[in-house]
Amino acid sequence: MRTDDFWAVIDRATVDRPASPAEVAERAVADLATRDPEEIVAWGRHLDKVLAASGTEDLWAAAYLINGGCTEEGFDSFRGWLVAHGRKAVAASVQSPDVLAGMPAVRAAAENGAVFEAEEVLSIAARAYEKATGEPLPAADRPRTRPEVADLWDFDNEDEMRRRLPRLSALFLEPPE
């Protein structure tokens, strides 16, 4: 599946800015479920590629700051939330995770403590495949989609956080002004 085709599914699911990533996921499932099973499998493989490309240490650190901590599963779910915001949001965040500080929802989270996770986005292909075929999505070898926890820098090191993610650190480490 081409990258443009993968993101076209998300674009259609976000066309009129649904209220939640869960709604984006439901729309994407409905869209994919109308396609050939092979295309659904290919979409799921492409999602794995997006997760592998976005599995960076600094993006994980950003998720850690924003969500007030972040497990391995939490990082996956955070990236599900990010995918629900589209190609530009993912690309910009992978290139420079600190740009997340400019998102209105993230800025508001500094005040209200919102947590950003969308596990349902991660299961779009599996749910669409089952809806289309009545069978579970065939198992496949998945690429590694995140660094090993033991290899991460210390996300509790506030000085390092401020150095790597200054804008997010200003929102989440320092008291609001």
DSSP, residue by residue, 57-109: HHHHHHHHHHHTS--HHHHHHHHHHHHTT-HHHHHHHHH-GGGGGGSHHHHHH
* 65-89 pLDDT, tens digit each: 999 999 999 999 999 999 999 999 9
C-alpha 19, offset from chain centre: 16
Instruction: Give the count of beta carbons closer than 10 Å to the beta carbon of residue 99.
Output: 17
Given a cut of 50, whether residue 14 has pLDDT beyond it is yes
pLDDT greater at residue 20 or residue 59: 59
Residue 35 has pLDDT above 60, yes or no: yes
Residues 6+ apart with CB under 8 A from 161: 61, 65, 155, 168, 169, 173
Residue with tokens 């799921």: 44
Dist. CA 54–CA 177, nearest whole Å: 32
pLDDT digits (tens, 9 = 90+) for 99-151: 999 999 999 999 999 999 999 999 999 999 999 999 999 988 777 888 888 88
Q: What is the pLDDT of residue 127?
A: 97
Question: What value does the CA radius of gyration of the chain take, rounded to a whole number of Å?
Answer: 17
Band (175; pLDDT cuts 50, 70, 90): low
High-pLDDT (> 70) share of the chain, %: 97
Question: In angstroms, rounded to a whole number, what is the distance separating the alpha carbons of residues 131 and 128?
Answer: 5
Alpha-carbon separation of residue 176 from 50, 150, 168 (angstroms) = 34, 32, 12
Q: First CA to last CA across the chain, in angstroms?
A: 47
Q: How confident is the model at residue 176 (pLDDT cuts 50, 70, 90)?
A: very low
Spatial separation of the C-alpha atoms in residues 31 and 29, rounded to whole Å: 5
Q: Is the pTM of this model over 0.85?
A: yes
Which band of pLDDT confidence, cut at 50, 70 and 90, is reported for residue 19? low
Count of beta carbons in the 10 Å neighbourhood of residue 112: 7
